[in-house]
Structure 1
Amino acid sequence: MIDFGDQVRKALKIQGVSLRGAARELHYDVAYLSRVMSGKQAPSAELIQAVNELLGLSLTVEEASPHDDEMDAWELVRRVQASDVGAATLSRLERTFDDLAMAYPKADPDDLLRKVRRHSGYVGKLLDAKKTLAEHRRLLTVGGWLCLLGATLHIDLKQEGAAMARLQSAAALAHEAAVSEIEAWCFETDAWRVLTDGDYVRALELSRVAQAAAPPGSSALIQATAQEGRAHARLGNRQETYSAIGRVQAFSAAVGTPESPEHHYRYDPAKSLSYTATTLAWLGDVAAEPYAREVIKRLCPSDNAAFWPRRVASANIDLALVLVTEDRLDEACVSAQRAILSGKVVPSNHWRALEIVTAVEARQLPEASDLREVYEGLKPLEQ
């Protein structure tokens, strides 16, 4: 067996590429690459393929990682099935996706993305195996969901190219499997991506396409309607914003509370509180305040930010924004600092925190310099 780390180090040196630069191009965490290069962690098959493509190599390190015990167990079960894929393997993949989607609200995006990559790679291997038509469709479906979650994480990390590639893969798999809900989520997720980039008109268009594609009463329909409201709010369309808020509240009341409300792709009526707080805050409506405070009260039983879901950080930003509107600037600074220092503001939401900083600086408050300093601590995450 060749020394993977040694071969890659030599290629990087010859091509004048730094380890940090390689990590950025490959969309892997530099600390993870460093562990692999030093032999402390075995490379995954997906990483080997990515490195080969980046550096023009043809490394053939054994694909099975000593850390992938879970995958080894699945492979053993798969081999004893009548099919090369098997119902047990598919069920485990589907349960694993649900676990990853439920971990999303609190998980570190980089950590969760590594898990999504590993399981997506396994799905890719199984697509070449013998299977029934029903098994093939289930495999395409779970692959589509994994690609969609991966795209969402790339958006959170402001990795635009990778996000678009995964969204396209998710849409293609969903089309092949004829799963309209995944297709609708792809449009909804892309709407959020362009909204965070400031293209509110395009976000409005994509949210409407998502609604048209979504099955009636589905979570995708509700979330796409929410994105429409957010886009209208950013555009200052008050009547349309209130209309979208009303539809979201009516839809969410009709679906009831799901068995796994923390699941990112199962709409929980409690999420409408967060959605309403953000949408009204963007519209400049002071009615956002009680919604934001209710989110914080429900989801933040303590001041320990380690246990916060990301919605608590967003609610603090919403609260700060509406407090600025009311000229309650001292309180706004406190809420903004709580959000930023929580470590729960992902790169795709840094612009929201910056809005508060800029508003406070415009009023030349003494606290402005402290708030700016706290915000600057977020910037390395964007590199």
Structure 2
Amino acid sequence: MAAERRSFAERRRACGYTQESFAEAMRVDRTTVYRWERGEAAPQPHQRPKIAKLLEIETSELDGLLASGSSAPARVNSWNISRGLADDDEQEAWELARRVEASDVGPQTLKRLERAFDDLATAYPVTPPQELLQRVRRHCSYVARLLAGRKTLAEHRRLLVVGGWLSLLGATLHIDLKQEHSATARLQTAVTLAREAEHREIEAWCFETEAWRVLTDGNYARAAELSRTAQSIAPAGTSALIQATAQEGRAQARLGHGKETYSAIDRVQQMSAALGLPERPMEHHYQYDPAKSLAYTATTLAWLGDSAAEGYAREVISRLNPSGDITTWPRRVASANIDLALVLLTEDRLDEACDAAQKAILSGRVVPSNHWRALEVVKAVEARELPEASDLREAYEGLK
């Protein structure tokens, strides 16, 4: 009889059920399953077909197993019941440990994904957005497949984090290409993954990125508001906090709020200096560095109409492209030349302004989301009826 009772339990285990999971499938308590296996109780007639189905046997075989336990004593020592439940608890603990250790991911795969994201973020300033977006899409799809497979809890969180970063970069590229619906979807995905992983820096970057998008659409007050939200989320000492502060400064400059603009610039410079140099010597889109502080200061001051922008813009150009070869420019150099053109126009240094604008437009580094900045210079040159206006307009139309 004991052997028959064991065969019932063995059949349950062979079908992948613990006592607890079998009880859940049958919608009974675990003690009931224990009593069935020991022959202390019999299932109700309506329960037998489902038991047979779960155990993948014929009903007649189940009847035989259950009949073998019908002669069991009516009363069983409570210690034996506790001992039987404890044995199953031990097996469930082993099963949980096995599932925690079982993985289709592995640390090397995660390291490669994290390294790939850093490479993509570093390639961002010098790679056409449509080209980089294809690579980001492939990596996002791969992360999605891994999330559907077996993995440990630690691996699951790392996948959420790298998926959040990749989605954020994808959203940024869609914004650069003026693909609004795709950008929104990617940003929402990035926020969801960031919150699931409890990664506040990614979440802060999402708000900062949305601030940049609405700023390019001319909604400067909303951009300032989103930037402040990003600052409230970003952990202290992170690049996201610095970037969100810089974004607020640019929005305030467009609004003509001088005091608030200079305050933001001061905070950015202090935080950037405290952060020090990044681990990677190349530009990483999500790692702030002192050179970025220069570039954002140049733009902010140029938008405010402060002549001090010239010195900052020229230093950015000198640092990032000392050879002057526009074919090797990172995107920041093109932006710095647009900033330089704006400030030179305010000082009536018209030939220099047109030259700087022409270089920026012809560099091929002005993405669609920044076309409006180039157009501002073109329109300012046209308003002054300068002879260079037609050439500049032609270059701009070629850019579009």
TM-score, normalised by the number of residues in structure 1: 0.77
Counterpart residue number, 2:136? 116
1:149 aligns with 2:149: no
Counterpart residue number, 2:62? none
Counterpart residue number, 2:85? none
Work out whether residues 354 and 392 of structure 2, in 8 Å CA contact, stay in contact via their aligned partners in 1.
Answer: yes
Counterpart residue number, 1:280? 301
Counterpart residue number, 1:346? 367
Counterpart residue number, 2:280? 260
Work out whether residues 335 and 360 of structure 2, in 8 Å CA contact, stay in contact via their aligned partners in 1.
Answer: yes
Taking the aligned partners of 2:326 and 2:308, their CA distance within structure 1 comes to 26
Runs of 4+ off more than 4 Å: none
Counterpart residue number, 2:339? 318
1:131 aligns with 2:162: no
The residue correspondences of 1:47-86 to structure 2 (distance < 5 A) are 83-86=103-106
Aligned amino acid, residue 325 of structure 1:
T
1:365 aligns with 2:386: yes
Counterpart residue number, 1:22? none
Taking the aligned partners of 2:116 and 2:351, their CA distance within structure 1 comes to 45
Taking the aligned partners of 1:160 and 1:378, their CA distance within structure 2 comes to 20
Q: Deviations over 1:117-148 (max 9, x none)?
A: 00000001111101111110000000000000
Work out whether residues 210 and 226 of structure 2, in 8 Å CA contact, stay in contact via their aligned partners in 1.
Answer: yes
Aligned amino acid, residue 270 of structure 1:
A
Taking the aligned partners of 2:102 and 2:132, their CA distance within structure 1 comes to 32
Counterpart residue number, 1:232? 252
**Any idea what SS the aligned residue of 2:337 has?**
helix
Work out whether residues 102 and 152 of structure 2, in 8 Å CA contact, stay in contact via their aligned partners in 1.
Answer: no
1:193 aligns with 2:213: yes
**Any idea what SS the aligned residue of 2:126 has?**
coil
Taking the aligned partners of 1:128 and 1:191, their CA distance within structure 2 comes to 32
What 5-or-longer segments of structure 2 have no aligned partner?
1-100
Q: Deviations over 1:175-199 (max 9, x none)?
A: 0000000000000000001111111
Work out whether residues 102 and 150 of structure 2, in 8 Å CA contact, stay in contact via their aligned partners in 1.
Answer: no
Counterpart residue number, 2:199? 179
1:308 aligns with 2:325: no
Taking the aligned partners of 1:141 and 1:129, their CA distance within structure 2 comes to 16
Aligned amino acid, residue 242 of structure 1:
Y
Q: Deviations over 1:306-363 (max 9, x none)?
A: 2111010000000000001111111110000000000000000000000001011111
1:374 aligns with 2:370: no
1:327 aligns with 2:327: no
Q: Deviations over 1:140-190 (max 9, x none)?
A: 000000000000111111111111110000000000000000000000000
Question: For this pair of structures, how many residues does the alignment match?
Answer: 299
Taking the aligned partners of 1:374 and 1:326, their CA distance within structure 2 comes to 23
Counterpart residue number, 2:313? 292
Taking the aligned partners of 2:207 and 2:122, their CA distance within structure 1 comes to 21
Taking the aligned partners of 2:150 and 2:395, their CA distance within structure 1 comes to 55
Q: Whose helix fraction is larger, Structure 1's or Structure 2's?
A: 2
Taking the aligned partners of 1:287 and 1:85, their CA distance within structure 2 comes to 52
Percent identity of paired positions between Structure 1 and Structure 2: 76
Aligned amino acid, residue 315 of structure 2:
E
Counterpart residue number, 1:104? 124
**Any idea what SS the aligned residue of 2:290 has?**
coil
**Displacement of 1:303:** 2.6
**Displacement of 1:82:** 5.0
1:90 aligns with 2:106: no
TM-score, normalised by the number of residues in structure 2: 0.74
Bigger shift: residues 263-272 or 113-122: 263-272
**Displacement of 1:249:** 0.2
Counterpart residue number, 1:14? none
Taking the aligned partners of 2:327 and 2:130, their CA distance within structure 1 comes to 16
**Displacement of 1:302:** 1.7
**Displacement of 1:370:** 1.1
Counterpart residue number, 1:166? 186
**Displacement of 1:213:** 0.2
Aligned amino acid, residue 335 of structure 2:
S
CA RMSD of aligned residues (A): 0.9
**Displacement of 1:366:** 1.1
Taking the aligned partners of 1:332 and 1:269, their CA distance within structure 2 comes to 26
Instruction: Tell me which structure has the larger Cα radius of gyration.
Output: 2
Work out whether residues 102 and 151 of structure 2, in 8 Å CA contact, stay in contact via their aligned partners in 1.
Answer: no
Counterpart residue number, 1:203? 223
What 5-or-longer segments of structure 1 have no aligned partner?
1-80
Taking the aligned partners of 2:217 and 2:258, their CA distance within structure 1 comes to 21
Aligned amino acid, residue 280 of structure 1:
L
Counterpart residue number, 1:242? 262
**Any idea what SS the aligned residue of 2:136 has?**
helix
